[in-house]
Amino acid sequence: MSSYKDTLGALIRDRKARVGIMGMGYVGYPMAYLAASQGFTVTGVDVDPVRVQKINRGESYIQDVSSAEVKPLVEKGRLRGATDYQVAKELDVVMITVPTPLNKTGDPDMSFVVSVLESIKPHLHAGMLIALESTTYPGTTEELFVPAIQEKGFKVGEEVFVGFSPERIDPGNPTYGPKNTPKVVGGVTPACTEIATDFYRQLVDTVVPVSSTTTAEMVKLYENTFRAINIGLVNELAIICDLLKVDVWEILDAASSKPFGFMRFNPGPGLGGHCIPVDPSYLAWKMRTLAYKTRFIELATEVNTGMPIWVVNRAAALLNNERKPVNGAKILILGMSYKNDIDDLRESPALDIFNLLVRRGGIVSYHDPYCPQVRLQHGLERSSVLSPGLLKEQDLVIIVTGHKRMVDYNLVLNHAHLIFDTRNILREIAEKGKAKVVYL
């Protein structure tokens, strides 16, 4: 008689395992599409009925997955949406891809993960793999999932298999997507690691097994903490260069000529996205529970979270040089998403910059072809149409996000009076216009 591990392994390798994705957002939808495109039958579960209706119509609401790619899979029965977590009783593999934000005190908010766990708990059965992908603090998978499974009477690593594989979704990346980005996988037991590794090998080109779920959780946090700290360093360099009246971009270009021992990071108006602004705080929180202070993380967080107010202060100084106060000044923000050529507003520094300028009395508008409307502190704001007339009436244009594919920067250069370019976008434009340009 074969074991549950053997039976589940065979289903996975034959791609007959029934897969469920819990949370169909920026991570879940691409992973659901990937699994379905590799021959698995996939159910995407989400509490939002509108999302589920769109999935079942073969429509994509995620920029990196097109409806043209999804619809054939829906028509073939490879992908469907559902709102009821009881579908877990029919599944062989459950992937959890729900948000893990920070709460108001800056501590991890695990409510979405806990909610999914409690919802699928009554439907757990022998011979299933549960893989958590949501970024979290080291120890989460063992602390939350193992007791819940044992409470149901199952043996972890023999009857139910548990793994952690951190998501590495990079919205808008034209080179690396879910399939060709290596996947780190760790299991609670060696058998869990083996089953989880088998599953992910059916989806992605490269799998990197590690010794435990805690190790896999730590890998994800280190990746993004590394970036956050180095971005904090280069953001502080930008502030230093402003005080010294030297060009930070020239310094970075020259430093990048060194062929060894240097990795370039660019400054900007602040951090955005779900990962880099959030993940280091998960590690810092965990270490506080062990009476250890993560000094590098806290310093980098202080610098990075302070960049939007620094940008606003610079903007006020630029207006002051023109003998204009912020109060009553017309200010146009170019780009509201957190990085170029995407529609993702999560943690975007543009939101903070807009709100701060409004608080100072600025008459603020924005243009972003990827974000037609944005909810801000004062209410709903809609993207303005970029035109010569709009640009000419602005006292200041601030480039917060550089949508190179969708914004005519020659138009901006030719019709704006004063531009504060926080992304070094305009130096790449061949045609120089009439505007006065100040760089971060």
Contact (Cβ atoms closer than 8 angstroms) between residue 217 and residue 141:
yes
pTM for the full predicted model? 0.91
Contact (Cβ atoms closer than 8 angstroms) between residue 47 and residue 24:
no
Number of C-alpha atoms within 13 angstroms, CB side, residue 67?
8
Max Cα–Cα distance, the chain, nearest Å: 84
Would you give the end-to-end CA distance of the chain in angstroms?
67
Domains and CATH numbers, the chain: 4-211 (3.40.50.720), 221-304 (1.10.1040.10), 306-439 (3.40.50.720)
- What three-state secondary structure class fits 420? strand
- What three-state secondary structure class fits 115? helix
- At residue 106, the pLDDT reads 78
- Cα separation, 219 vs 166, in Å, equals 8
- Cα separation, 438 vs 17, in Å, equals 57
Contact (Cβ atoms closer than 8 angstroms) between residue 232 and residue 299:
yes
Contacts of 347 (CB under 8 A, 6+ apart): 271, 272, 273, 274, 277, 278, 338
Q: What ranges in 76-134 are assigned the alpha helix state H? A: 111-120
Q: Going along 77-191, which residue ranges are E strands?
A: 79-82, 93-96, 128-132, 160-164, 183-187
- At residue 429, the pLDDT reads 77
Helix H or strand E encompassing 333: strand 330-334
Q: Which amino acid is at 407?
A: V
pLDDT digits (tens, 9 = 90+) for 85-117: 999 999 999 999 999 998 877 788 999 999 999
- At residue 1, the pLDDT reads 43
Q: Which amino acid is at 230?
A: N
- Cα separation, 426 vs 423, in Å, equals 8
pLDDT digits (tens, 9 = 90+) for 272-284: 988 888 889 999 9
Phi, psi of 70 (to 5 degrees): -80, -40
Active site residue 275: yes
- What three-state secondary structure class fits 151? helix
- At residue 206, the pLDDT reads 98
pLDDT digits (tens, 9 = 90+) for 313-331: 999 999 999 999 999 999 9
Match 């062990």 to its residue by tokens.
Answer: 290
Q: What ranges in 256-336 are assigned the alpha helix state H? A: 279-288, 295-305, 307-321
- Cα separation, 282 vs 228, in Å, equals 13
Alpha-carbon distance values, 167 to 48, 182, 220, 377, 433 (Å) = 21, 10, 8, 30, 42
- What three-state secondary structure class fits 398? strand
Contacts of 188 (CB under 8 A, 6+ apart): 141, 142, 145, 146, 156, 157, 161, 162, 163, 212, 213
- At residue 172, the pLDDT reads 86
Alpha-carbon distance values, 101 to 27, 351, 399 (Å) = 14, 17, 27
- Cα separation, 249 vs 417, in Å, equals 22
Active-site option among 192, 241, 275, 371: 275
Q: What is the DSSP letter of 135?
A: -
Q: Which two tokens stand for residue 354?
A: 């807009």
CA-wise closest residue to 409 among 395, 394, 391: 391
Q: Which two tokens stand for residue 250?
A: 């020239």
Q: What is the DSSP letter of 416?
A: -
Q: Which two tokens stand for residue 329?
A: 């000044």
Buried b (16+ CB within 10 A) or exposed e, 169-196: bbbeeeeebbeebebbbbbbbebbbbbb
Per-residue pLDDT of the chain (440 residues; tens, 9 = 90+): 469 999 999 999 999 999 999 999 999 999 999 999 999 999 999 999 999 999 999 999 998 999 999 999 999 999 999 999 999 999 999 999 999 998 877 788 999 999 999 999 999 999 999 999 999 999 999 999 999 999 999 999 999 999 999 999 888 888 999 999 999 999 999 999 999 999 999 999 999 999 999 999 999 999 999 999 999 999 999 999 999 999 999 999 999 999 999 999 999 999 998 888 888 999 999 999 999 999 999 999 999 999 999 999 999 999 999 999 999 999 999 999 999 999 999 999 999 999 999 999 999 999 999 999 999 988 899 999 999 999 999 999 999 999 988 899 999 999 999 999 999 999 877 557 788 999 99
